[in-house]
Structure 1
Amino acid sequence: MAHIDLGLDEKAHPGINGPMRYRPETAKPLNELAEALLRAPHPTLSPGERELIAAYVSGLNECRFCCASHSAFAAAQLPAGTALVDQVHADPAGAPISGKLRALLRVAAAVREDGRKVTGELVEAARAEGATDLELHDTVLIAAAFCMYNRYVDGLATFAPDDPQGYALAAERIVRHGYGAS
């Protein structure tokens, strides 16, 4: 049970969905940010890669709902699907991803720990793998935003379902309609 009365059935509106229905005036800009960061056109990072960064940070933060949902969203948009997402969670250094994405995940992990942990060395290592300033910027912002989203969900102790099918259904909706769609 959430720490506050959200005025709804938490199982029908798990994770961030409950608080967003509770405060639609704050949900709107939060959904717009997620849409811009994760789904808007990007010259080089696919929506699946950006969702993978969000899922990875959420996993590091141990946010069950956000990790499960964004892992499903990433898997739905990456050719290697769930197997790749699971490999990244288990061993990002050994997962079959590009050197650039691996370096960006290291940057995201540093942001998650403390923004000041993003060192010149991490940035240069990402650049050496081909990362652009835009990709670095967006990785830092995705990681920072997901620290906020994770804390929003967990700080209110919202319900996180165990059934992966619910996350897969949400992934279909997000891929088709985006964030903010009811």
Structure 2
Amino acid sequence: MPHIHLDSDLPGIRGLMSDRPDTAAPLNALADLILRGDSPLTRGERELIASHVSERNATRFCADTHGAAAAAQLDDGKAVVEAVHRDPGTAPVSPLLRALLRVAGEVQQQAAPVSDEAVAAARAAGATDTHLHDTVLIAAAFCMYNRYVSCLATTLPTEPGYYEEAGRRITAHGYAAV
């Protein structure tokens, strides 16, 4: 049961956004920018980073929604998402993405500088300043989104296939239309 009254029965962040379109617009614009705008990371990789951070934050709605969006955009996507959720260090991703998932994990863990070791490992795997910037911004933003969803005790979807449909919708239309 959500901690606040919502006029809709939409699950997760969708219920919050439906209730507060004034805050939904900038939050969706930010999600569109960081997950779909220009970046050296593919959209699927960025969704995977968002899902990874959400999984680490135990925010089921976001982990599964962004996991479905990542799965829809990555080769062997569902298996990759599941592997990253289990152990990003052994998941079948590129060395660069593995290093960036480590960076994202450090951002999720604490509001402190990412370790020199994690940055060096990312650089050794080919990360540019933009890779590091985008990874840290996605991870930090998803800590905020996760807390918004979790701290207000939003509900989870009950209909089968919800997350797969959300992944298809996000992949096709982005967040501004969500």
TM-score range, shorter chain: over 0.9
Instruction: Look up the match of 1:136.
Output: 132
- How many residue pairs end up in the alignment? 178
Q: 1:20 is matched with which residue?
A: 17
Q: Which residue of 2 aligns with 1:7?
A: 7
Residues 83 and 163 (structure 1 numbering): CA distance in 2 closer, same or farther, change over 3 Å? farther
How far is the alpha carbon of 1:180 from its aligned partner? 2.1
Q: Distance in 2 between matches of 1:165 and 1:5?
A: 26
Aligned-partner residue type, residue 94 of structure 1: T
What is the TM-score of this pair, normalised by structure 1?
Answer: 0.94
Which of residues 27, 31, 49 is equivalent to 2:28? 31
For 1:70, the equivalent position in structure 2 comes to 66
Match of 1:160 among 137, 156, 161: 156
- Structure 1 gaps of 5+ residues are none
Q: Which ranges of 4 or more aligned residues in structure 1 deviate by more than 3 Å?
A: none
Following superposition, the deviation at residue 120 of structure 1 comes to 1.6
Alignment of 1:90-105 (within 5 A): 90-105=86-101
Match of 1:58 in 2: 54
The 2-side partners of 1:171 and 1:120 are apart by: 34
Post-superposition CA distance 1:38-93 (Å, at most 9, x none): 01132x21000000000000000000100010000100000111011101111111
CA distance 1:142–1:124, shift in 2 (3 Å): same
5+ residue gaps, structure 2:
none
Alpha-carbon distance between aligned partners in 2 of 1:114 and 1:143, rounded to the nearest angstrom: 11
What letter corresponds to residue 58 of structure 1 in structure 2? S
How high is the sequence identity, in percent, across the aligned residues? Answer: 58
